[in-house]
């Protein structure tokens, strides 16, 4: 019985050995690897095994009082990645916590920048200009594997480095929307929205508002990065 097994498996061993050396996968005879049919590549390493800069970012995010969960690294398509990303579910204000609606994966750097803006640029502005604390930030999402509209260049959303903010809900129940209140809200609401935009411009590399173009008439596009563009 043992001899029979050896005769069957021996021809397979060289092929397995060569495949291991080359780093290739064994494919069906006559077939070619079609990357379009493969699932996203996922690095399931925990945050503890991340690089030193990444661990420092997670520590900084934790220090803000944010509620978050580190996510596995993903490489969905050329230019579409989620590296050192987190699921951000809650943020800390000066005196209370507030929620985030409809937010998808964001990089740790984006989350940390967003946390600082929400506390110092939004919550405080809400209390000063509107007389009530922030309760929730509503978004149109974050990560999306897509190009910048009208171009072949990948959007910052494709790297989980951008957030589209749609509205702010206050503790007294008021909902301040970018769509509508930017131009048609009360004087205090219009001032509040412009203050939070200017605050975002001090923290994010690119900030786009209804003043930029019609595509941003209903949200604030907040994007980390080395650039500096505020409109």
Phi, psi of 70 (to 5 degrees): -60, 145
Phi, psi of 34 (to 5 degrees): -110, 100
Mean predicted confidence (pLDDT) in 9-25 = 38
Domain that holds residue 87: 51-230
pLDDT of residue 41: 47
Phi, psi of 145 (to 5 degrees): -75, 90
21 falls within a domain = no
- Looking at the structure of the chain, the number of domains it has is 1
Does the structure show a pLDDT above 80 at 82? yes
Pairing between β-strand 206-208 and β-strand 229-230 as defined by DSSP bridges: parallel
118 falls within a domain = yes
Does the structure show a pLDDT above 90 at 13? no
Pairing between β-strand 162-170 and β-strand 67-70 as defined by DSSP bridges: unpaired
Residue 19: helix, strand or coil by DSSP?
Answer: helix
Reported confidence tier of residue 50, pLDDT bands at 50, 70, 90: low
26 falls within a domain = no
Reported confidence tier of residue 74, pLDDT bands at 50, 70, 90: very high
DSSP conformational letter for 25: P
Does the structure show a pLDDT above 70 at 113? yes
As a whole number, the mean pLDDT across the chain is 84
Please give, one letter per residue, the 3-state secondary structure of 122-163: HHHHHHHHCCCCEEEEEEEECCCCCECCCCCCECHHHHCCEE
Q: Is the pTM of this model over 0.75?
A: yes
Model confidence pLDDT, tens digit, residues 130-153: 999 999 999 999 999 999 999 999
**Cα-to-chain-centroid distance, residue 70:** 12
Reported confidence tier of residue 187, pLDDT bands at 50, 70, 90: very high
Does the structure show a pLDDT above 70 at 83? yes
111 falls within a domain = yes
36 falls within a domain = no
182 falls within a domain = yes
Phi-psi region of 76 (alpha: psi -120 to 50; beta: other; left: phi over 0): alpha
Mean predicted confidence (pLDDT) in 74-98 = 96
57 falls within a domain = yes
Reported confidence tier of residue 182, pLDDT bands at 50, 70, 90: very high
19 falls within a domain = no
What the block records as the tokens of 222 is 């907040």
């Amino acid at each position: 019985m043992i001899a029979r097994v050896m005769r069957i498996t021996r021809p397979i061993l060289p092929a397995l050995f060569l495949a291991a050396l080359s780093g290739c996968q064994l494919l069906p005879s006559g077939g070619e690897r079609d990357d379009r049919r493969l699932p996203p590549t996922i690095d399931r390493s925990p945050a503890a095994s991340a690089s030193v800069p990444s661990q420092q970012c997670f520590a900084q995010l934790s220090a803000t009082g944010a509620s978050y969960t580190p996510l596995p690294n993903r490489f969905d398509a050329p230019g579409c990645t989620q590296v050192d990303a987190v699921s951000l579910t809650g943020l800390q204000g000066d005196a209370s916590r507030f929620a985030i609606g409809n937010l998808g994966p964001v990089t740790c750097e984006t989350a940390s920048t967003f946390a600082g803006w929400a506390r110092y640029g939004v919550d405080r502005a809400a209390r000063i200009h509107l007389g009530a604390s922030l309760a929730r930030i509503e978004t149109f999402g974050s990560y999306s594997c897509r190009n910048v509209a009208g171009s072949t260049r990948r959007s910052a959303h494709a790297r989980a480095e951008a957030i589209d903010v749609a509205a702010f809900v206050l503790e007294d129940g008021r909902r301040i929307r970018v769509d509508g209140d930017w131009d048609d809200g009360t004087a205090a609401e219009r001032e509040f929205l412009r203050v939070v935009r200017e605050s975002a411009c001090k923290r994010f590399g690119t900030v786009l508002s209804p003043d930029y173009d019609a595509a941003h008439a209903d949200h604030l596009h907040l994007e980390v990065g080395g650039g500096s563009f505020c409109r």
